[in-house]
Each structure stands twice: as C-alpha cells, then as structure tokens.
Amino acid sequence: MPVLRICHLYPELMNIYGDRGNVIALVGRCLWRGWEARVVRLSLGDPIDPSLHDLFFIGGGQDREQMMVCEDLAGEKGEALRAAVEDGAALLSICGGYQLLGRRFLTCTGEDLPGVSLFDVETVGGDTRFIGNVAVECALEGVGGTLVGFENHSGRTRLGPAARPLGRVLRGHGNNGEDGTEGCVHRHAIGTYLHGSLLPKNPRLADWLILQALRRRHELEELPPLDDALEEAAHRAALRLVLGERPRKGRPRLRRLRPSR
C-alpha cells in the first residue's frame, strides 16, 4: 500500500489564508483511496533528511516570519531541500514560501533576503499590494485546465531564463502584474502566489503532486480516480466568481506566454 510522506515546513510561522488546508487536502485524498499519509512538521532548527520525505509543503507568512525562516533555510537545510527535489521529491510553496525558494527577495523595506535558489526567480517588494481572486490557465503537463485561488502580496517576482511558469494569468496579477505569468515549476516543485486554500479547489493539481511524490518509491502510472463532484463544483463556482469580476482600472493587459522549453 502506498504511503505518502509529507514534510510540512514551518507550520506555526508560514500559514496564512488557510494554507494549512493544502496539507489536509493531500492527506484526505490519500485516505479516501485507502492509503496512508504521514505528516512530519519541521520548524526552526530542525534538520531536513532528504531521504525521509517525498512531498514538502511551505506556506506564506509575514515579513518578520519570513526573515526568521530565511535565516533557518540558509546553508545545509536549504541544500537538503534542493537535494530532495533534485532526487524526485514533490514540493508546493505558497507566496512567502515561494519567494524564499527563489534566488533572492528584496523586501519593500530594504531587507535583502538570500533565497534557496530552488527556483530561478527573484522577487522585489512593491509599493502596492496585489489583492484579489485569481484564475490561471495551467501550463503544467498532466494538470491542464484552470487553477483558481486568492492572492495578497506586494512582491514582484521575475522569472529567470531557466524558469518556467505554472501558468498564464486569466484574471488577477500573478508573479508581477506585468508579464502575465503565475508561479514557477522546477521538476516536481511548484511555487505560486495562490492561497485559498489552493488544493481543495484544484483537485487535479493535488493529485499531480501526490502522484509525483509517490513515484519516488512506488511504481504508479496513475492514481485511482475519486468522486470529485463537490471539488469540481467548488472550482467552477470560484472560476465563475473570478471571471465575472470587473477588472480594476489600470490592471495590465495579459500577454501570451512563449511555449515552455
């Protein structure tokens, strides 16, 4: 029987807008299939053993908490996280967690926070916040369709040449409010600004993460299907809400993405 090993990083520091619900969704979707899911919570000072966990999660947090986590991820801990992803582990990072896994985060108050460099992105804090519901055309193979969520961030994240976006913004601001991109993908790791919680309303993305994580130890072609009637209804309701909202004045025009390499 497959066992999903989840490492929830900094749950008491990086958990805003219901980000913990993503872990609950992952565990629930394993239990509904009759599988076991084990969650280990690691925080400041706790070492990471890359071989023990197959799916890492880190949520968003305030600037003060981000600075504490940034210091903790420096050195061996950040290297262990990168090693796990390069070895095939899956990862989901939201907002502040996403920013800290890039190369650098320059906050709007001038603190220069070095990142883990898991994603080829850099973030600079802006003068205004991007707040509101978001719809994204997902570019991730095996997921497709749309993603829905909620964003609240002042960071402007720019993708480097090695980065590929999670998707194209249909409504909202995404990475920076200018180039139409949202999030970043590296191997089986995802960074995104979508709170929500994200995964309960986007079950196909939840199952993509579970499948990639389990494939690290188990031979699986696909996951047994679940009755996602309620989840898909929630997704459609959220999508209708987002697309029905009137765009705010001054919102930048969308740009079509180049095909990912």
Catalytic-residue membership of 195: yes
User: Which residue in the list 7, 30, 95, 184 is annotated as catalytic?
Assistant: 95
Helix (H, G, I), strand (E, B) or coil at 46: coil
| C-alpha closest to that of 28 among 11, 12, 9, 4 | 4
User: Which residue in the list 8, 53, 195, 235 is annotated as catalytic?
Assistant: 195
Helix (H, G, I), strand (E, B) or coil at 244: helix
Q: How far is C-alpha 172 from the chain's CA centre? A: 16
How many Cβ atoms are within 10 Å of 215's Cβ, its own excluded?
16
- Establish whether the linkage from the previous residue to 197 is cis, with ω within 30° of 0: yes
Concatenated DSSP letters for 10-34? STTTS--TTTTHHHHHHHHHHHTTT
Active site residues: 95, 195
